[in-house]
């Protein structure tokens, strides 16, 4: 079961009551909203990957095969988010 915050649920309810959207559009909108939230939370955060690389998240992508992928400043490449071992708390 997916958990969404009250504000998102309220926004979706209002959106659906004003102009009915197909279910697929509601899901797509939810995914994009969550992606933007992840970007805001991770970009600029210090991380360590399971292979020992460490640095600051520079960019976040959506990837068809891996889901979320990140790039780390100073290291070439893109890594699946599942490789993040440690994220600095803010």
Nearest to 71 by CA among 43, 34, 90: 43
CB contact set of 84 (below 8 Å; sequence gap of 6+): 47, 48, 49, 50, 70
Residues 24 and 53 placed together within one structural domain of the fold: no
pTM more than 0.75: no
Residues 47 and 90 placed together within one structural domain of the fold: yes
Calculate the dihedral angle through the C-alpha atoms of 82, 86, 88, 90, rounding to the nearest 10 degrees. 60
Question: Residue 27 is encoded by which pair of tokens?
Answer: 């899901």
SS3 66: coil
Number of folded domains that form the chain: 2
Render pLDDT for 20-73 as a digit per residue (tens, 0 to 9): 678 888 888 888 898 899 899 889 988 888 888 888 999 998 888 778 899 999
Half-sphere exposure at residue 28, Cβ-oriented, CA atoms within 13 angstroms: 5
pLDDT, position 1: 41
Can you give the residue range of the structural domain that contains 71?
A: 43-90
């Amino acid at each position: 079961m997916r958990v969404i915050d009250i504000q998102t649920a309220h926004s979706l309810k209002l959106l659906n009551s004003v102009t009915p959207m197909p279910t697929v559009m509601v899901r797509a909108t939810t995914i994009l909203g969550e992606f933007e939230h992840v970007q805001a939370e991770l970009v600029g955060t210090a991380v360590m990957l399971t292979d020992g690389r460490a640095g600051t998240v520079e960019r976040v992508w959506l990837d068809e095969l891996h889901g979320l992928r990140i790039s780390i400043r100073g290291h070439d490449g893109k890594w699946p988010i599942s490789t993040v071992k440690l994220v600095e708390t803010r």
